[in-house]
A and B are shown apart, each in its own frame.
Chain A
Amino acid sequence: EAGVAQSPRYKIIEKRQSVAFWCNPISGHATLYWYQQILGQGPKLLIQFQNNGVVDDSQLPKDRFSAERLKGVDSTLKIQPAKLEDSAVYLCASSLQGTSGTDTQYFGPGTRLTVL
Chain B
Amino acid sequence: GENVEQHPSTLSVQEGDSAVIKCTYSDSASNYFPWYKQELGKGPQLIIDIRSNVGEKKDQRIAVTLNKTAKHFSLHITETQPEDSVVYFCAAGSNTGKLIFGQGTTLQVKP
Contact = CB atoms under 8 A, between A and B. Distances in A.
A48 B97 contact: yes
Interface in A31-49: 31, 33, 40-45, 48
A102 B51 contact: yes
A103 interface: yes
A40 B95 CA distance: 28
Contacts of B97: 31, 33, 48, 55, 95, 97-101, 103, 105
A18 interface: no
A45 B98 CA distance: 7
Contacts of B51: 102
A42 B104 contact: yes
A41 B43 contact: no
Q: How large is the interface on A (under 10, 10 to 19, 20 to 34, 35 or more residues)?
A: 20 to 34
Interface residues of B, number: 28
A13 B98 CA distance: 30
B43 A107 contact: yes
A42 B95 contact: no
Interface in B20-54: 31-32, 34, 36, 41-46, 49, 51
The 8 closest A-B pairs by CB, nearest first: A42-B101, A107-B43, A101-B95, A98-B97, A102-B32, A107-B44, A109-B43, A43-B101
Given A43-B101, A45-B100, A107-B45, 5 more contacts: A42-B101, A48-B97, A93-B43, A99-B95, A105-B97
